[in-house]
Amino acid sequence: MIDHLVLFAAKDDASPEDIEDLLETLRGLRNSVESVVDLSVGEDFSGRGGGYTHGLFARFEDRDGLTQYLKHPEHVAGVEKLDALTTGRLVVDYES
């Protein structure tokens, strides 16, 4: 299995509605990208995110599944929203 972790920080001027739209777009990838085994995304509530306000976790059967996800048009569109509404992100991919 391949685990894909993304931490991102919402811009201070991003509206709650825009952030919720982003999260819904990202959640939708679970159903629209065939190679996704599991996916969750949400806002950090612990205050321990080191400046990152949200996290995403996705799981794939193999590296090819992750590659399919990264190239999928709906993922690309989600990344465009992410880029517009966040100040940065940290991505880690590993085999579990």
d(CA 59, CA 10): 23
How would you list the strands of the sheet with 2-10, edge to edge? Answer: 36-43, 54-60, 2-10, 86-95
Cβ–Cβ under 8 Å, residues 74 and 33: yes
As a whole number, mean pLDDT of residues 66-88 equals 97
Band of the pLDDT at 13, cuts 50, 70, 90? very high
pLDDT value of position 10: 97
Tens of pLDDT, residues 16-75: 999 999 999 999 999 999 999 999 999 999 999 999 999 999 999 999 999 999 999 999
Structure tokens at 88: 């940065």
d(CA 1, CA 57): 13
Q: 15: which residues sit within 8 A by CB, 6+ positions away?
A: none
> Tell me, what amino acid is at 28?
G
Is the model's pTM score more than 0.85? yes
Task: Set out the domains of the chain in order of their start, with CATH numbers.
Answer: 2-95 (3.30.70.100)
pLDDT value of position 46: 96
